[in-house]
Structure 1
């Protein structure tokens, strides 16, 4: 919803892959801006074209190298620990696994050092002008304000040289918010985005309580046009009369919807959390 320009650009990337051309796609945006939803939309379109899709996600915590890519590696060789610290072996394994398809990496700003180095190597390889014998599309979704400088530098360089496609998930306009609210009243089919897609990609069917009378314009202002914030307000049964002191009267559903956000806040230090 409201991402027509971004969707068109992502479709062009898939067109290129079908013609044998790989690419690096950066999906950038603030928390709650809908980066994961754009990645899920790309995964759905790739699946419809018969292109394989592999998901990877940077965990909030964990031990060992290459944590971001362990699920993407599958149950082969390195994934089972035969040589868990060899960068060259991981590079070749990921390239082989992703060949001809789409590798989606979510929350790249949380990458561990070894995963970051692997991502940078993949970026350099895919964004070069030399043709690849096994092309694929690497999608990196991240929050620029939280991403390591090395990643930002590599992505900015690639965008300037036209080697990387940058898709920005900015705020939605009022019309898109209205359409999104209507969409959330209709449940999303289970598995619409393929195996391995993040749970956060599927929005529940929330019905706006009739007693609020909240218009799309009011919710757009309160949420700043960010889909993630909008979902929290809708889950709470948004009440313009209570805002901004409270979102609404359904605190239990608000807390359930906000679980990922609360987990992220809980991982911060005391001063950062304050």
Structure 2
């Protein structure tokens, strides 16, 4: 699907991580533009390079789940490999039993108390990430970060202010306009001081989109669908499907399963929906 610039940045981030350097990669863009697809490509390439990949995704309806984004990213790994052998301070170990369900049989902590004491959780989670990255390169990939619960958003701000210096790549995909203001400020500061790299995911060019249409489709039809979609992969796919259904013609896009997967990777809320193209 094109994206040579973005894929080059993804490859460069993986290479830097393999060489032992830490970093932050930010993937920003409108709904349906392909942020999730690029983040998943980063995960695939990192795994191929023998990087420990930890993937978490925030959801709009779980913002009351304290540290939910980090639980989603870390808990399965903890459950699979256990906690023995990690060089963690005793206090961090105790805090992690309150945050990660798979960490062990720690004391039960009421959610309100966990929220009040979450600054201790920030320190403990950072200690865990540091311990993991001392053993091997680590990718922490967080999708739909704009929906993070308050504790997770504060944790991200904490990591940006106190980065893990060992081999850790923190990658986040998000919609800029929905990021909580305090975290948005921290992101902007990190980009400005050079500790983070930001990629604003642009629409597909007309040439990139042209490669998705089936051969023989009239140039005027290609141009109309592209212009109506604005180069957004999700809208391009939906408009192409609507065009073929309304006309009774064959599919206007070439059969490319990865195109549909990429287009539907980023959910598009109704409030972002664009008007249907004119017939």
Contact between 2:146 and 2:175, CA under 8 Å: does it hold in 1? yes
More helix by share: 2
Question: Within 5 Å, which residues of 2 pair with 1:1-274?
Answer: 1-62=1-62, 63-75=64-76, 76=78, 77=97, 78-80=99-101, 82=106, 85=114, 86-97=121-132, 100-126=137-163, 132=165, 134-181=166-213, 215-238=221-244, 261=267, 264-265=269-270
Deviating more after overlay: 61-70 vs 173-182: 173-182
Deviates more, 1:232-241 or 1:213-222: 232-241
In the TM superposition, what whole-angstrom CA distance separates every residue of 1:225-264 from its partner, at most 9, and x where no partner exists? 011212222343546879xxxxxxxxxxxxxx989857x4
Structure 2 runs not aligned, ≥5 long: 79-96, 115-120, 249-262, 272-279
Look up the SS of the partner of 1:236 in the other structure: helix
Deviation at 1:39, TM superposition (A): 0.8
1:48 and 1:229, CA in 2 relative to 1: closer, same or farther beyond 3 A? same
**CA separation in 2, counterparts of 1:73 and 1:21?**
21
Distance 2:132 2:246 in 1: 50
Alpha-carbon deviations, 1:144-169, whole Å to 9, x = none?
11111112211111111111111111
Post-superposition Cα deviations, 1:60-116, rounded to whole Å, max 9, x if no partner, equal: 112331111112122544321737733322332344456612111111111111000
RMSD: 3.1
Structure 2 length as normaliser, TM-score? 0.68
- CA–CA separation in structure 1 for the residues paired with 2:167 and 2:244: 47
Answer 1 or 2: higher relative contact order, Cα 8 Å, separation at least 6: 2
Using the alignment, how far apart are the partners of 2:146 and 2:238 within structure 1? 23
**Worse-superposed segment, 86-95 or 212-221:** 212-221
Deviation, structure 1 residue 139: 0.5
Contact 1:52 1:102 in 2 (8 A): yes
Structure showing greater Rg: 2
Structure 1: which 5+ runs fail to align?
Answer: 183-207, 243-256, 267-274
Greater CA drift, 83-92 or 97-106 = 83-92
2:27 aligned counterpart, secondary structure = strand
Q: What SS does the corresponding residue of 2:158 show, helix, strand or coil?
A: helix
| Distance in 2 separating the partners of 1:37 and 1:144 | 17
Distance change >3 Å, CA 169–CA 258, structure 1 → 2:
closer
